[in-house]
Amino acid sequence: MSSMAIFFSILAAVLIGAASPGPSFVLVSRIAVSRSRQAGLAAAFGMGTGSVIFATLALFGLSALLMQVEWLYLALKVAGGLYLIYIGIRIWRGAAQDLALDAPASPAGASVARNYWFALGTQLSNPKTAIFYGSIFAALLPAQPALWLLVALPPAVFAIEVGWYTVVTLAFSSNRPRALYLGSKLWIDRVAGAVMGALGARLVSEGLPRHIWR
């Protein structure tokens, strides 16, 4: 297989992974529909940054390290899961609060930065993402890949992740989804919080020693 074919095969796998439902999708869609399109785009860039960090580390062998040092991988799972549970609780507790979409509580620049770092933290909270990229690279990259391939993959991953979550932002920040959200905010936020908490609890359960659950 040529280097170009390998490149596009990896990008196709990354796109499929990005489009799979998970905490990243829940977070970006909720930010877009409950805050603003600008906030959603900031979150999209945060997700892209987290993905490119994991992709770059995977190219340098982090995924192999996590698979060999089991306690480190399990510890990261527990820490990431607890962070997602914390986010889920925050969303659930804020479900009953009224939302003032047209009255931002902080300067635009601060809001963009906050949503960017919030999304980045969420993306980095799941060590499975590092394993995902490591698995793709291990399966599709040759033993001695071309230098241009190693250089081109991280920015390509960033473009795919940001592009996908930009689409999600544009879809959920339009008038109809926003009107639906405002009319059912209590239950939508509670579902989103429960989903986020459940994903976090799953990470924690996978990270804790098996005998604890017996």
- pLDDT tens by residue, 80-91: 778 778 878 877
Amino acid at 94: G
pTM for the whole structure: 0.72
CA separation for the pair 47, 169 (Å, rounded)? 12
What residues contact 106, with CB distance under 8 A and at least 6 apart?
Answer: 114
Amino acid at 193: G
pLDDT digits (tens, 9 = 90+) for 189-200: 788 788 878 877
Three-class secondary structure of residue 97 per DSSP: coil
pLDDT digits (tens, 9 = 90+) for 92-144: 887 776 654 444 444 555 578 899 998 998 888 877 777 778 777 777 777 67
Question: Which range scores top for mean pLDDT: 14-28, 72-86, 121-135, 148-162?
Answer: 148-162
